[in-house]
Chain A
Amino acid sequence: MKPFFAQIERDLLIAWQNRQDLGVMLVFFVIIIALFPLAIGANAPVLDPLGVPVIWIAALLAILAGFDRLFAQDVRDGWLDQIALSQLGLGWYALAKAISHWITAGLPLLIMTPLMAMMLNIPLQQWPPLLVALLIGSMGLTLLGVIGAALAEGARRGTALMALLILPLAVPLLIFGTLASQSDRGIISPHLMLLGAVFALLLALAPLVAASALEIGETETGL
C-alpha cells in the first residue's frame, strides 16, 4: 500500500503548492449559490424549496469543473510513464487521484456547505441529511470526474467532451442526492441507500475504466 499513499501524498503536496485553484473552486461554488436569491428575489417564498437543489447543483458544477487538468499535467510531465512502470499500476493510480482530488475539492466544499445552508435559510433539522448525502454524493461525483478526465485525456477538446460525457451520468447521483437531503425521516432514508449504491458501483468501476482509458489514450496520441 506504500506506493498508493505515496501517490496521494505527492498529489496533496502539488495541490498545496497550487492552492489558489482551491480558492477559485470555492468562490465558484459560493457565487452560483448566491446568484439564485439575487435572481429570484431574496424574500420570495419560492426560495424555500429551492435551497437544497441549489446547493447540489452548485456542488456538482464546482466539483466537475476542477477535473479538466486532473491527468493532463501528469501526462505532460511524463509522470504517467513512470507510474505505468512502477509497482502502483494505473488502476490504483486513478483511485489515488480520486482520493486526493476529493480531499482538495470535495472536503472544502462540504465544510462550506453549512454556511451556504444558513444563507439559503435551510431549516436546521435538514442539515444532517444534507451533509451526509452531500458527503457520499461528492465522493461519487469525484469518481465520475476521474472517469471523464481519463476518457477526455488525449482528446483535443477534452473539457467540452468531458462535460458531455459526465453530466448525464451524474443524474442518478443528483436525483438520489437531493431526495436523500430532503428526507423527513432522519438521515438514513431509502434514497440515501440508493445514493450509496451508486457510489459503491462507481468506486468499483471508476478506477478500472479510468485505467483502461489512460492506457488507450496513450497509444493513440503518444509521441
Chain B
Amino acid sequence: MTDHDHKKTARKTAPSTADHRLHIDQLSVLRGMVLVIHNLSHRQSAGDICCLTGPNGAGKSTLLRTIAGRLPAAGGDISCAAPIIYVGHTDGLSGAISGRENLAGWAKINGFSTTETAIDTALSSFATSRFADLPVRVLSRGQRRRLALARLALSPADSLWLLDEPNAGLDQASSRILDDIAQKHAMAGGMVLAATHLDFAAAAKPGSLHLPGLVT
C-alpha cells in the first residue's frame, strides 16, 4: 500500500515553480468524440478561490473530474501540489448507513482524524448533527449535500477543494455557511475551485475561470 501511496503522490506533486500549487497547461479533454476542453491553462496558488463558470455542457464537471484524476487528459498537463478533496454532484454517501458512519468511513480511508470530536465538529459545521444518525436514504437532497460537504471540515488545511455545484439543493443558510467555510479555508492557505451557476464566495480571487462552451 505504501508503494501505491508513493506513486500517487509522485504523480500529483509538481516541481513547484513560483507560488502556484495547481498548474494546468494546455489541457484538452475528450468525452466520446467531442473535444470538451481545448487548450485550457490555469494557475492557482495557496489562498485562491476560483469560480468555474460557463453554460451547461461547457465542461465544468469534466474539468473538475480531470483534475481529480478520474478522467484522462487527451493532451496537456495537470499538476497539483496539494491533497485533493472532491465533492461531485453525486454525494458519495451510501443510503443504507447513517451520515455519521459515512463520514467516519470516508475519514478512515483517507487517513484523516477519526476521533469522536473531529467527526462531531465536522458534522456540526453544516448543522447536520440533528439528522446525522439517520440512514441517509431517508434524508432530503439538501441534507445529503450538507453531509457530503461536512467532509470539507476534516480535510487538511492546504488541500485543494474541487466542488461541483456545491450549492445545488442547499438552503440559503447552508449556502452562507459554505461561503464562510470556503473563505476560511482560503485564508488558512487552502485552495478552492468551484463550478457553480450561483453566487459563490463573493471574495473569490483571482475571480473566475470561464469555459466558453462547446468547441467543435
Contact = CB atoms under 8 A, between A and B. Distances in A.
B213 interface: no
A1 interface: yes
Contact of A218 (B70, B84, B97): B70
B86 A10 contact: no
B56 interface: no
A223 B71 CA distance: 10
Interface string B107-134: 0111100000000000000000000000
B110 A84 contact: no
Contact of A86 (B65, B70, B101, B109): B109
Contacts, number: 97
A189 to B, nearest CB: 36
Given A81-B70, A82-B86, A87 B97 contact: no
Given A84-B69, A92-B1, A79 B97 contact: no
B72 interface: yes
Given A4-B1, A218-B70, A222-B70, A88 B109 contact: yes
Interface string B75-97: 00000000011101111111111
Given A10-B101, A84-B70, A3 B109 contact: yes
Interface in A76-95: 76-79, 81-89, 91-92
Given A10-B97, A14-B97, A222-B70, A79 B92 contact: yes
Interface residues of B, number: 34
Contact of B65 (A13, A17, A223): A223
25 contacts: A3-B1, A3-B108, A3-B109, A7-B105, A7-B109, A10-B94, A13-B101, A13-B105, A17-B97, A77-B90, A77-B92, A78-B90, A78-B91, A81-B65, A81-B68, A81-B88, A84-B68, A85-B84, A85-B85, A86-B110, A88-B109, A92-B1, A222-B65, A222-B70, A222-B71
Given A77-B95, A222-B31, 12 more contacts: A3-B108, A7-B109, A9-B105, A9-B108, A13-B101, A13-B105, A14-B97, A74-B94, A77-B91, A79-B94, A84-B70, A87-B111
B109 A91 contact: no
A164 to B, nearest CB: 26
Q: Looking at B70, B89, B101, which has the most chain A CB atoms within 10 Å of its CB? A: B70
B183 interface: no
Contact-residue bracket for chain A:
20 to 34
Nearest to A9: B105
B167 interface: no
Which 4 pairs between the two chains have the least Cβ-Cβ distance? A78-B90, A6-B108, A17-B96, A78-B92
B96 A6 contact: no
B133 to A, nearest CB: 13
Interface of A: 1-4, 6-7, 9-10, 13-14, 17-18, 73-74, 76-79, 81-89, 91-92, 218-219, 222-223
A14 B93 CA distance: 11
Nearest to A76: B90
Contact of A3 (B31, B92, B111): B111
